[in-house]
Amino acid sequence: MSVKHSHYSKALDNRLASIEGLIGAIRRMMAEGRDCEEILLQLSAAESAINKVAKIVLKDHFNHCVKEGIESGDLEAVESFNAILDKYLK
């Protein structure tokens, strides 16, 4: 697909910074030998946060890149979208 679109937003960047913070905290918890249940809870929070970012990017990709591709006659946009869905939703 040849349509280019920036998925950057300050809100998305803030979410990613928060995820970085979560990952750093998890690393410290593991290095400190913290309780497994606490670590697993934080891992679950990080996974949820990543999934939220992915959902935002996926919706944005569909609403801009795929839509613009279809409107310009690039039917490969749909095939490409289906391929990314297959990879993302394993």
- 4 has pLDDT over 70: no
For the chain, what is the domain count?
1
Residue-range definition of the domain harbouring residue 40:
10-88
- The residue-averaged pLDDT of 9-34 equals 96
Query: In the structure encoding, which two tokens stand for residue 56, read together?
Result: 């935002």
Q: Identify whether 56 is part of a domain.
A: yes
33: in domain: yes
Q: How far is CA 16 from the centre of its chain?
A: 9
Position 7 confidence tier, pLDDT thresholds 50, 70, 90: confident
Pairwise CA distance, residues 61 & 67, whole Å: 8
Assigned domain for 47 exists: yes
24-29 average pLDDT score: 98
Output the domain CATH number for residue 64: 1.20.58.1000
Highest mean pLDDT among 25-29, 51-55, 60-64: 25-29
Quote the pLDDT of residue 17. Answer: 97
**4 inside domain:** no
At 34 the pLDDT is 97
Domain assignment present for residue 5? The answer is no
